[in-house]
Amino acid sequence: MSIWNYANPTLFMSLSKRILPTTTVITLVLIITGTCWGFFLTPNDYQQGSSVKIIFLHVPAALIAINSWFVMLISSLIWLIRRHHISALVAKAAAPIGLTMTLVAIITGMIWGQQMWGTYWAWDPRLTSFLILLLFYIGYQTLWRAVENPDVAADLTSILCLVGTIFAILSRYAVNFWSQGLHQGASLSLDKEEHIHDSFSNPLYICMIGFVFLFITLLLVRTRTEVLKRQIDSIERRKGYFNA
């Protein structure tokens, strides 16, 4: 029984139904533990006060924002090569999650930036890259909604995701180049490695793993919704044939 069998929508639905409660519980446990530990039980940084604790949200969100696109990339490749409808729907389902995480990363980054530099926005390479990633997510989702035929939509969005990945990487490099050019030497990056206390690392890891499980849970829920939507569409269309 290879993993490809789960590309069958019915099998997928039954498997996801079985594992969803488990992942939900793990998610809740990890996130609550991680954030409470991080927010309440760690010492305040002598320089930045308690606001640095926003990294317990910022870093995991940023991690998921990028991984979500990666999941979309793999799913798009699987759709283009093996034509499993489930993978197309996984890609479609991952997009809003990634978009939200990117937004969370940007907003928490801005809040953190306000504390560190006194301004909500600065053209820091990392924040700018996330802004560009947001644009890619918006474009991808808009294309899904614009095409009527779901299979053609899956094709076009998969190609967009592939090409977009290349440009996203190019843009990251370009933005680094750009910010070095304009701010030669000034390091305005939210470089977490240098500034956090060691005691932050454990709750941070817990939060990160918790967010990964959050992503998995949300992805399963959204994919199930997409599958149900497609099933309803198919039934409606079939009813149309019988009535005609």
Partner 1 sequence: MISILKRDILLSIRSGSGFTLSLSFFFLIIILIPLAIGPENTKLQSITPGILWISALLSCLLSLDRMFQSDFEDGTLEAFLLAPVPLEGIVFAKAIAHWLTTGLAITLVAPIIGFLYGFDQSTSLWMFLALLVGTPSLSFIGAFGASITIGLKRGSLLLPVLIMPFFIPTLIFGSQTVWQASTGLQMINSFLFTAGVSAFVISLMPFAAALAINSALK
Partner 2 sequence: MLLSVKNLTCSRNNRSILGNISLTLNKAQIISLYGPNGSGKTTLLKTLANILSYSEGIITKKTKEICFLGHTNCLKTNLTVKENLSFWNGIYAGDTLEKAISSLKLQDIINIPIAQLSAGQKRKVALARLVISKSEVWLLDEPYSALDKENLLLFNQAIVGHLKTNGGIIMSSHTPIEFEGAKPLNILEFKIANGLQNDPFIEGSCS
What are the DSSP calls for 69-114, one per residue? HHHHHHHHHHHHHH--HHHHHHHHHHHHHHHHHHHHHHHHHHHHHH
HSE at residue 164, side-chain half, CA atoms within 13 A, is: 25
Q: Which of residues 212-241 bind partner 2 (CB under 8 A)?
A: 227, 230-231, 233-235, 237-238, 241
* Closer residue to partner 1 (CB): 104 or 175: 175
Q: Do 102 and 132 form a contact (C-beta atoms < 8 A)?
A: no
Q: Which does 227 bind (CB under 5 to 8 A by kind): partner 1, partner 2, none?
A: partner 2
- Asked if 152 interacts with partner 1 (CB under 8 A), we say yes
Q: Which residue's CB is nearer to partner 2, number 27 or number 75? A: 75
Per CB under 8 A, the list member of 11, 29, 159, 228 interacting with partner 1 is 159
Q: Which does 186 bind (CB under 5 to 8 A by kind): partner 2, partner 1, none?
A: none
108 and 58 Cβ atoms separated by less than 8 Å: yes
Least distance in angstroms from the C-beta of 64 to partner 2: 28
Residue 100 to residue 57: CA distance in whole angstroms: 13
For partner 2, the closer CB: 2 or 47: 2
To partner 2, the closest distance from the beta carbon of 161 in angstroms equals 19
User: DSSP 3-state assignment of 208?
Assistant: helix
Nearer to partner 2, 42 or 75 (CB): 75
Distance CA 30, CA 33 (A): 5
Contact 9, 84 (CB under 8 A): no
Contacts with partner 2 by CB under 8 A lie at: 4-5, 7-11, 82-85, 227, 230-231, 233-235, 237-238, 241
